[in-house]
Amino acid sequence: MEKPDYLGIDGRQLHLLLTIQQAGSLSGAAKMLDMNQSTVSYWLDVLRKRIGDPLFVRQGNGVVPTERAQQLFPAAQAALDHLETMFQPQHYDPKQDSGVLRISTTAVERTLIVKPLIKHAQRLAPNLRIELHSAGSPQQITERLMTGALDAAIMPPNAATSEGLMQRKLFSTSDLVFFDPDFPLRADDWDAFCARPQVRVGFGPDAGFEIDRRLAKLGRKRHVAVQVADFDSALAAVRGTALIATLPAPIAPDDLGNVAPPWQQDGLVLALIWHVRNQTSERHRFWRDFLGSKPQEF
């Protein structure tokens, strides 16, 4: 016996089958479906061939289902119900979210954005787990976004150049030069800045150093004595030493002094970056909207 062509059966045909059952005649089904009776007859013939059964036989002025059709009715209704559920608009309920939200951040975003996010999530989504990943190089972060290892990242928008990444500006910030109060640094003094031993932050193996490029264009070079992988480590290295570190202004601690760097600043823009696969996800949109709800400048 030839195997039925079940892959050729779609939702409209299942709906037709159930409508004929409900109407009790092809003419009645045609009226309910706003079709010509010939169209109903055509699609019923298609179903008959694909299933290998008459499905309905004439009786009086109407039709009655065969035994095979009676067996199909519950499954057809269940399939239609399932299809309807599949294609209903998404609804995200944070209270039911027991998943993981993975975000790549630095100390800047943890203070200004992620800390309020965690507080917000504890109230609205008590079962959600938030994972904060240390920022690597732009290439490393991009790879994690592309593979799904990260849901979102916060970094300069020009770092997200790969196809498939989307972004939204969050805020812009400027730099300060931090020093231990026992080893003060004069403001607006290029020679003093370049002469002092410095801590440099490098995110990942292919990190770029905008400050060093800027200095090179001016024919200057700073004295890099220590390189670390994050802002917190840089601040720790400055405390109690003559080291200085040029870092984003929002992370300024109370126990360290700071001055503006000797160059004119344009401001660093930071953006929320995500992969296009998550663009239409109601869950992702919910948390993206919170993260991007209050752009600020520092």
Mean pLDDT of the region 189-197: 93
Q: At what angle do helices 37-51 and 11-23 cross, to 10 degrees?
A: 110
Q: Tell me the whole-structure pTM to 2 decimals.
A: 0.61
In the chain, which ranges are E strands? 56-59, 62-65, 100-105, 129-134, 152-155, 165-173, 175-179, 197-201, 223-228, 244-248, 257-259, 268-275, 296-297
- CATH domain 94-172+270-297 topology: D-Maltodextrin-Binding Protein; domain 2 (3.40.190)
Token pair in block for residue 141? 């972060």
CB 138 within 8 A of CB 261: no
Helix (H, G, I), strand (E, B), or coil: what is residue 187?
A: coil
Cα 8 to the chain's mean position, in Å?
36
Q: Can you tell me the distance from the alpha carbon of 76 to that of 51, in angstroms, rounded to the nearest whole number?
A: 13
Mean pLDDT of the region 56-72: 94
Mean pLDDT of the region 14-27: 94
Q: Can you tell me the distance from the alpha carbon of 148 to that of 233, in angstroms, rounded to the nearest whole number?
A: 28
Give the per-residue pLDDT at 295.
Answer: 46
- CATH domain 6-86 topology: Arc Repressor Mutant, subunit A (1.10.10)
Q: Can you tell me the distance from the alpha carbon of 11 to that of 27, in angstroms, rounded to the nearest whole number?
A: 20
The CB density around residue 93, as the number of other CB atoms within 10 Å, is 11
Give the per-residue pLDDT at 162.
Answer: 76
CB 14 within 8 A of CB 79: yes
Q: Per-residue confidence at 294, pLDDT binned at 50, 70, 90?
A: low
- In the chain the first and final C-alpha atoms are separated, in Å, by 75
Dihedral angle of Cα 217, 222, 225, 226, to the nearest 10 degrees: -50
Residues in contact with 174: Cβ distance below 8 Å, sequence separation at least 6, in sequence order: 248, 249, 260, 265, 267, 268, 298
Tens of pLDDT, residue by residue over 114-157, are 888 888 899 999 999 999 888 777 888 888 999 899 999 988 88
Q: Per-residue confidence at 5, pLDDT binned at 50, 70, 90?
A: low
Domain boundary assignment for the chain: 6-86, 94-172+270-297, 175-264
CB 23 within 8 A of CB 32: yes
Query: Do the domains at 6-86 and 175-264 have one common CATH topology?
Result: no
Residue-wise DSSP of 25-85: SHHHHHHHHT--HHHHHHHHHHHHHHHTS--EEEETTEEEE-HHHHHHHHHHHHHHHHHHH
- CATH domain 175-264 topology: D-Maltodextrin-Binding Protein; domain 2 (3.40.190)
- Is 4 or 238 the better-scoring residue by pLDDT? 238
Give the position of tokens 């939204």.
Answer: 168
Beta bridge partners of 249: none
Q: Per-residue confidence at 89, pLDDT binned at 50, 70, 90?
A: confident
DSSP 293: S
